[in-house]
Amino acid sequence: MSTIDLAKINADIGRDAPALVKWALGLNQPAIVTTNFRPFEAVILHLVTQVNPDVPVVWMDNGYNTEATYRFADEVTKQLKLNLKIYLPRRSRAHREAVEGPTPALDDPRHAAFTEEVKLEPFARALRETAPKVWFTALRATDTAVRAQMDPVSINPDGLIKVAPLLHWTSKDLYHYCELHGLPNNFDYVDPTKGEENRECGLHLAH
Ligand SMILES: Nc1ncnc2c1ncn2[C@@H]1O[C@H](COP(=O)(O)OS(=O)(=O)O)[C@@H](OP(=O)(O)O)[C@H]1O
């Protein structure tokens, strides 16, 4: 792969999601898209699979999703014929709760170990097994202060090309895209590693 001129790519097509997806998949490198099936996730999944239907879709099912999220995951997977790869924690939720009790609160020292077990270790495993060179997410600038400073395309210290085609989309843009393409949505979403909105839990920061 020849050297990527990040500044140029970001300036030229950083705000053109379909063009960015085409460019990234046109690198002909192994790619993945991660999803937690939060609101509007059908948009990134549709954008990517329109260009390449076989891209592995990585979901770490932490075992704490709402029923609506599980139904949404199944519905989108079926509608878009996703190549879904589910990564589960090494221990079931029932096992963990039997010996350690319910989800530790954010200020509980055990919270970090909980996040590691249900989210970060499964993601590290997914990265090892899928060995991507390109990683698509639906990160948005409005999510957190860190993301507000990001570029749509960046390269991490391991050389992984991180692509966030929806970085500058608003909820309204995402809503209209779903309407236009007949995509389902899911607003009943919770992440047990985040007690509040606008919190970074390390997955995206660590990679
Ligand atoms: N459970 C699970 N399974 C698969 N992929 C996941 C999961 N949790 C997070 N992600 C991916 O990481 C992106 C950032 O998510 P978060 O804000 O939840 O995580 S973090 O704060 O960076 O740890 C998130 O971005 P979005 O695509 O915008 O949802 C996902 O791509």
Top mutation candidate among 41, 204, 207 for ligand 1, by most atoms within 8 Å of CB:
204
pLDDT at residue 165 tops 90: yes
pLDDT in tens, 4-14: 999 999 999 99
pLDDT in tens, 38-89: 999 999 999 999 999 999 999 999 999 999 999 999 999 999 999 999 999 9
Look at residues 148, 189, 151, 142 and name the one whose alpha carbon lies nearest to residue 170.
Answer: 142
pLDDT at residue 102 tops 60: yes
What is the Rg, in whole angstroms, of the alpha carbon atoms belonging to the chain? 17
In the reported structure, the alpha carbon of residue 52 is separated from the centroid of ligand 1 by a whole-number distance in angstroms of: 21
CB 50 within 8 A of CB 19: no
pLDDT at residue 200 tops 90: no
Q: E strands along 53-114, which residues?
A: 56-60, 83-87
Separation of alpha carbons 48 and 17, rounded Å: 10
| CA-proximal residue: ligand 1, atom 18 (nearest) | 201
Give me the chain's average pLDDT, please: 95
In the reported structure, the alpha carbon of residue 95 is separated from the centroid of ligand 1 by a whole-number distance in angstroms of: 24
Instruction: Please report the DSSP string for 110-158 in residue order.
Output: THHHHHIIIIIHHHHHHHHHH--SEEE----TTT-HHHHT--SEEE-TT
Question: Which atom of ligand 1 is closest in space to residue 44's alpha carbon?
Answer: 27
What pLDDT sits at residue 25?
A: 98
The reply to whether ipTM tops 0.85 is yes
Torsion (CA) 8, 9, 12, 16 in degrees, nearest 10: -160
pLDDT at residue 1 tops 80: no
As annotated, the active-site residues are 201
| CA-proximal residue: ligand 1, atom 22 (nearest) | 204
pLDDT band for 202, please (50, 70, 90 cuts): confident
In the reported structure, the alpha carbon of residue 101 is separated from the centroid of ligand 1 by a whole-number distance in angstroms of: 25
pLDDT in tens, 107-155: 999 999 999 999 999 999 999 999 999 999 999 999 999 999 999 999 9
- The whole-number average pLDDT for the span 13-20 is 98
**Whole-structure pTM value:** 0.94
Separation of alpha carbons 42 and 183, rounded Å: 6
